[in-house]
Chains A and B, each alone.
Chain A
Amino acid sequence: EVQLVESGGGLVQPGRSLKLSCVASGFTFSNYGMNWIRQAPGKGLEWVAYISSGSSYIYYAETVKGRFTISRDNAKNTLYLQMTSLRSEDTALYYCARHYYDGTYYYFDYWGQGVMVTVSS
């Protein structure tokens, strides 16, 4: 059974940093690209970042570029999101999601349960 379990969220002051983790199980983690997607309270979904299976390709939303860093450790089956210079508008539930790609089709096929990040003084 595919499982994605996020952790590392919490309450943090504006301007500070936080690192999220997403531990994957039930599949060969190193074969899949991964994403972070967030959802502000009462709002819709916003894609944040993508990393390819071997970390060769990394993309960010403009809203986080230069402040957030996505990375992964395939030996530990873990995806990370290092967040710096946090702002109140970064307050959201952060999901990790597996990026399915079979050479033809792309989609997010599995999502974690999400981890809450609250940026407030």
Chain B
Amino acid sequence: DIMMTQSPLSVAVTPGESASISCRSSKSLLHSNGITYLSWYLQRPEKSPQLLIYQISNLASGVSDRFSGSGSGTDFTLKISKVETEDVGIYYCVQFLEVPLTFGSGTKLEIK
């Protein structure tokens, strides 16, 4: 199974500042078709997860452009610019390269 490791476990951010979350996979997520199957989700308190980014850096429909993704192979980063109170929640990375599909353990974002 592909292990997904996120860091930090939690981050506290002042509104208006930026935050970065790291996700590392135990195997390259680059498919032979050239696509890297790594997505990011946000689970706001008491809500279902919502898609933020797919294939490393593609912003999902309706998602603020304050969110951006980068990386390649086994190392990926989600950056949140100008953090707002509505960004509070737990962020998960997930790989879609192979089954079993696996999630990172999550990074909790809090507001200072």
CA distance A50 to B60 in the complex (A): 22
Check B58–A105 contact: CB distance below 8 A.
yes
Residue in A45, A62, A104 whose beta carbon sits within 8 Å of that of B49 in the complex? A45
Q: Which residues of B contact A47 (CB under 8 A)?
A: 94, 100-103
Residue of A nearest to B97 (CB): A106
Residue of A nearest to B100 (CB): A61
- B89 near A: Cβ within 8 Å? no
Check B103–A45 contact: CB distance below 8 A.
yes
- A109 near B: Cβ within 8 Å? yes
The size class of the interface chain B forms with chain A is 20 to 34
- A80 near B: Cβ within 8 Å? no
Q: Which residues of A contact B41 (CB under 8 A)?
A: 45, 108
Majority secondary structure of chain A interface residues (helix, strand, loop or mixed)? strand
Question: Which of A12-20, A67-75, A111-119 forms part of the interface with chain B?
Answer: A111-119
Residue of B nearest to A62 (CB): B100
Check A107–B39 contact: CB distance below 8 A.
yes
Q: Which residues of B contact A46 (CB under 8 A)?
A: 103
24 sample A-B contacts, Cβ–Cβ < 8 Å, listed by A number: A44-B90, A45-B41, A45-B92, A45-B94, A45-B103, A46-B103, A47-B101, A47-B102, A50-B99, A50-B101, A59-B99, A60-B100, A61-B100, A62-B1, A62-B100, A104-B33, A105-B35, A105-B58, A106-B37, A107-B39, A108-B39, A111-B49, A111-B50, A114-B48
Residues of A within 8 A of B (CB): 35, 44-47, 50, 59-62, 95, 104-109, 111-114
